[in-house]
């Protein structure tokens, strides 16, 4: 089977930085509480003229430029988001128009909350395999600040906005290993029938924490078992960045090597579907990703959903 190789990434962060200190002035919280419970120190919020789609377009432009490909090479565009500014057009269709992607190719949004990027990459793999084509544009983007109750300290300190984009190539002799799952639950809930802002995000934090510390190591182990690899074969594990303690639990449970687990929630907070591609982009930018490296990406979150996949980083064409 042909698998996905990561060729290039892009990223976009909105203009407004919000520190724990800023939030302390807004709700009854403290930098100490937020940092010790979550590892988060700051997050970015969209300015008036920004939303999940503007961020997605900026990240996608950068990924395409870095890949050395042109818009005509992109066979499908799949966007993971739960905070599209409009139900339709989808963010993916807005990206199609902005980047001038050919019209005879699919463009669609996928909502699997914080597992969204894994679901989107798996969807792109399926589209490339069934429709033909070699390169896919896969994006994770969120404007969660638009969906939060700024007076609810149990959620407003956690989430942030941003976007990450990836160009994948469907390549021979590359394993395709993915695991996806779902368990319908209202443990995390956002949005209403008419508009997102009618029902801000609520979360049963403790229940989600218990779910996450079970789902994350299980997903990683499934990816390793299915690819017949061990932890030693992995160069990086890129997990959804919800909470530093959840990643630490996973490391402990699997007796894993902490330096392989990339963490950036201190700078971004929890950006749901955007967190994994933002991490990939940062890693590429800072030279941590080298051609030929093997990565496992693990997502978990609202739905409830979970997903894991094995990736090879190839670098630009």
Instruction: List residues near ligand UT7 by CB under 6 A.
Output: 29, 33-34, 37-38, 114, 153-154, 157, 188, 205-206, 208-209, 212, 242-243, 246, 270, 272, 301-302
Nearer to ligand UT7, 96 or 270 (CB): 270
CB of 309 to ligand UT7, least distance (A): 18
Marked catalytic residue, from 93, 270, 281, 297 = 270
266 is a catalytic site residue:
no
Nearer to ligand UT7, 37 or 226 (CB): 37
DSSP the chain: --EEEEEEEEEE--SEEEEHHHHHTTSS--HHHHHHHH---EEEE--TT--HHHHHHHHHHHHHHHHT--GGGEEEEEEE-S--SSSSS-HHHHHHHHHT--TTS-EEEE--GGGHHHHHHHHHHHHHHHH--SEEEEEEEEEGGGGS-TT-HHHHTTB-EEEEEEEEEEETT----EEEEE----SEE---SS-GGGS--EE-HHHHHHHHHHHHHHHHHHHHHHHT--GGG-SEEEE--S-HHHHHHHHHHTT--GGGEE--HHHH-B-GGGHHHHHHHHHHHTT---TT-EEEEEEEETTTEEEEEEEEE----
Nearer to ligand UT7, 133 or 181 (CB): 181
Q: By Cβ distance, which residue is nearest to ligand UT7?
A: 205
Nearer to ligand UT7, 56 or 190 (CB): 190
Marked catalytic residue, from 46, 93, 114, 219 = 114
CB of 185 to ligand UT7, least distance (A): 12
125 is a catalytic site residue:
no
CB of 200 to ligand UT7, least distance (A): 15
111 is a catalytic site residue:
no
Residues annotated as catalytic (active site), given as ranges: 114, 240, 270
């Amino acid at each position: 089977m042909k698998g996905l190789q990561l060729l290039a990434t892009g990223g976009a962060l909105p203009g407004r930085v919000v520190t724990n200190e800023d939030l302390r002035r807004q709700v009854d919280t403290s930098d100490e509480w937020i940092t010790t419970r979550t590892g988060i120190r700051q997050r970015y919020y969209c300015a008036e003229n920004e939303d999940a789609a503007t961020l997605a377009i900026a990240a996608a432009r950068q990924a395409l430029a870095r890949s050395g490909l042109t818009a005509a090479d992109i066979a499908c565009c799949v966007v993971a988001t739960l905070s599209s500014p409009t139900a339709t057009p989808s963010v993916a269709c807005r990206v199609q128009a902005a980047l001038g992607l050919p019209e005879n190719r699919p463009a669609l949004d996928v909502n699997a909350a914080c597992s969204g990027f894994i679901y989107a990459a798996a969807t792109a793999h399926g589209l490339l395999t069934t429709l033909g084509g070699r390169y896919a544009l896969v994006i994770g983007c969120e404007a969660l600040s638009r969906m939060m109750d700024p007076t609810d300290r149990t959620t407003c300190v956690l989430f942030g906005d941003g976007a990450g984009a990836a160009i994948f190539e469907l390549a021979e002799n590359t394993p395709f290993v993915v695991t996806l799952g779902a368990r319908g639950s209202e443990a995390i809930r956002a949005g209403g029938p008419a508009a997102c802002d009618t029902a801000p995000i609520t979360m049963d934090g403790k229940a989600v924490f218990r779910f996450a510390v079970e789902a994350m190591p299980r997903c990683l182990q499934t990816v390793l078992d299915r690819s017949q690899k061990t932890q030693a074969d992995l160069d990086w594990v890129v997990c959804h960045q919800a909470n530093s303690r959840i990643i630490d639990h996973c490391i402990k449970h699997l007796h894993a090597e902490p330096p392989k687990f990339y963490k950036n929630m201190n700078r971004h907070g929890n950006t749901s579907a955007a967190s994994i591609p933002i991490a990939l982009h940062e890693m590429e930018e800072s030279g941590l990703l080298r051609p030929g490296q093997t990565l496992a990406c693990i997502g978990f979150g609202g739905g409830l959903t979970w997903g894991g996949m094995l990736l090879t980083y190839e670098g630009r064409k």
